[in-house]
Amino acid sequence: MKRDLASSTRVLRGAPRAGAHGAGTLLLSRSDVERLLTPDECIAAVEDAFRQHALGKAPPPGILGFHAEEGSFHIKAALLTLDQPYFAAKTNANFPQNGARHGLPTIQGVVVLCEAITGAPLAVMDSMAITALRTAAATAVAARYLARENCHTALICGCGGQAPAQLRALLRVRSPRRVYFYDQDRAKAQSFAAALGTEIGLPMEPVADLAQAVAASDIVITCTTARRYFIERGMVRPGTFVAGVGADNENKQELDPLLLAHGKLVTDLTDQCCAIGDLHHAVDAKVMSREDVHAELGEIIAGRKPGRASDEEIIVFDSSGTALQDVAAAVAVYRRALADGEGTRFSLNA
């Protein structure tokens, strides 16, 4: 006999439980996660995760990748000790033709969250909102430590699914008076600027001239699928904070190797950026080595390395996306769901 939850909502009304022990695994759908995970909580969780890593309390996270015919799968997993130890494994499928061929999102996936005292699976949740918010949160944390206080203008390159999360998170830590949007598809930039302008109530401007927009911006965020860099060193004026967010596999690139080599480079995880981030291309191009990396973000958060030293520095954040962020965000969602009595219980081990 089939039990079907898809066509039902909230059939059973159990009282919220205090803990997870013996209560089954908590299921959280995409809309559950979107509702439960606020940018502020996600930023705080991600900042703390990077700090714990820098303090040696979170071992290096791991990645596995697999190529299918039409796309790829990757797994990102990490342990993170907060008040108690947690482990999360995120399985994401990345199938670029999904939209055109199947009317499905490019990226679909699942996060499995376990406590790391007995290993019990606490929660299974959709990965989409986790991925978007934890990625945006890393940019926001980096901007908090590395962007100038007085940033008046921000540019977002790439008006896909990641862009709104990036902007919303950035606005929690900096207050630009004007935001530019750039996309190869100009209509996309226009509709984004219109939609987010209405939502956020700031002047939003779609731009056609990339070089001009970069030169006019205090903060530049790239979140594209580019496979060849488009932000050139010569475009970026002194004092700018640049966050390269798109490069999350070895074939993707957004930032001029010379920009990385001549700016102050901060990574999320240097090992990982050497393998799949923009840093990887800069090292390949022999314009810098991994020893030229100024710091990992966690080292700056933990006070072990200095952040911005002057208003003139160009600082680049190479964001390759780490499982530390996933576990931090998943724990934040899980705790919020417990506190609010949200989610669906399923006894996986019954």
Enumerate the active-site residues: 90
**Cβ-based nearer residue to a second copy, 35 or 188:** 35
Residue 67's DSSP bridge partners are 72
Q: Is 4 in the site for a second copy (CB under 8 A)?
A: yes
Which two structure tokens, joined as six digits, stand for 341?
A: 């009595």
Q: For residue 196, what is the enclosing H or E element?
A: helix 186-200
Residue owning tokens 């081990």: 349
Which two structure tokens, joined as six digits, stand for 234?
A: 């010569």
Per CB under 8 A, contacts with a second copy among 321-350 are 341-350
Per CB under 8 A, contacts with a second copy among 53-112 are 59, 62-71, 73, 75, 77-79, 85, 87, 89, 91, 93-95, 98, 101-102, 104-105, 107-110, 112
Per CB under 8 A, contacts with a second copy among 15-34 are 15-17, 23-25, 27, 29-31
Stretch that binds a second copy, among 11-19, 133-141, 221-229, 302-310 (CB under 8 A): 11-19
- CA 152, 301, 110, 242: dihedral to nearest 10 degrees? 30
Count CB neighbours of 263 within 10 A.
21
CB of 239 to a second copy, least distance (A): 40
User: Using CA atoms, how far apart are residues 279 and 293, in angstroms rounded to an integer?
Assistant: 9
**Cβ-based nearer residue to a second copy, 128 or 214:** 128
Query: Are the beta carbons of 2 and 323 closer than 8 angstroms?
Result: no
Residue of 13, 19, 83, 201 that binds a second copy (CB under 8 A): 13
Stretch that binds a second copy, among 42-50, 124-132, 258-266, 281-289 (CB under 8 A): 124-132
**Cβ-based nearer residue to a second copy, 275 or 285:** 275
| CB hemisphere CA count around 306 (13 angstroms) | 5
Q: How many of the chain's residues bind a second copy (CB under 8 A)? A: 78
Per CB under 8 A, contacts with a second copy among 222-261 are none
Residue owning tokens 């598809």: 185
**Cβ-based nearer residue to a second copy, 303 or 341:** 341
N- to C-terminal Cα distance for the chain? Answer: 17
CB of 330 to a second copy, least distance (A): 13
Q: Is 286 in the site for a second copy (CB under 8 A)?
A: no
CB of 160 to a second copy, least distance (A): 17
Count CB neighbours of 185 within 10 A.
10
**Cβ-based nearer residue to a second copy, 68 or 309:** 68
Residue owning tokens 């209509």: 187
User: Using CA atoms, how far apart are residues 108 and 65, in angstroms rounded to an integer?
Assistant: 15
Which two structure tokens, joined as six digits, stand for 254?
A: 């957004």
CB of 108 to a second copy, least distance (A): 5
